[in-house]
Amino acid sequence: MRISEMAVPNAYLIEPDRLNDSRGIFFETIRHSRLCDVAGHDLAVRQVNFSVSSRNTVRGIHGTMLPPGQAKLITCVRGVALDIAVDMRVGSPSFGMYAVTRQDAEGGTAVYLPDGIGHAFQALTDDTCMSYLCSQEYVPGTMIDIDAFDPDLALPWELSGPVIRSPKDVAAPTLAEAAASGLLPGYAECIASYRGLTAAQDDEAGAGSRR
């Protein structure tokens, strides 16, 4: 697989090598050691989510307060999705920047989004199913919601009809409003969190070598 940093720093695009034969297709969605080597920190999966959406559904922009944080590995397992990562880290050199990935079940492309990177997607087909491997369990009251149609972000949605959104997403603040209210994590805070994961990973590796 190929893992490359996206236009939003610290977020990664994962493109698997597909093996095709008469039976169909096989590919690795992720290999833990490869992601750790590239990202520089661990991804411990503590919750797995799936969402199923109709065509023209837009979900997000969603993130999590820090702490507890919640990094995500996201891939489309049925249908087609336009996936967007947004830098929500206050003080980041790329604050408000976004990266777009087109995902479909056949390609197996995934994105890894650490703490402070918001996530949104549009279902381009009916019955689009997205898989989320999450580093932390959901904690009520810690979610961050940003308006996916924030005019300052101007995200490039590809709507072919009326958009379908949840009332919560429709009522979400803009990125600037969320920053002004203190909802968003700071860039330095997020970088420290990544370093903490690296230290924890090194400690675990050291403990394993002493067993």
Nearest to residue 84, comparing CAs of 102, 96, 66? 102
Cα distances (Å, whole numbers) of residue 195 to 42, 71, 202, 209: 10, 14, 10, 21
Q: Do the Cβ atoms of 108 and 16 come closer than 8 Å?
A: yes
Catalytic residue among 12, 41, 62, 112: 62
Cα distances (Å, whole numbers) of residue 105 to 31, 36, 76, 115: 18, 24, 5, 25
119 catalytic? Reply is no
194 catalytic? Reply is no
Residue 21 and residue 36: Cα distance in Å, rounded?
30
Cα distances (Å, whole numbers) of residue 133 to 27, 63, 168: 17, 14, 23
Catalytic residue among 12, 98, 112, 132: 132
Q: Do the Cβ atoms of 200 and 43 come closer than 8 Å?
A: no
Cα Rg for the chain, rounded, in angstroms?
Answer: 17
Q: Which residues are catalytic?
A: 62, 132
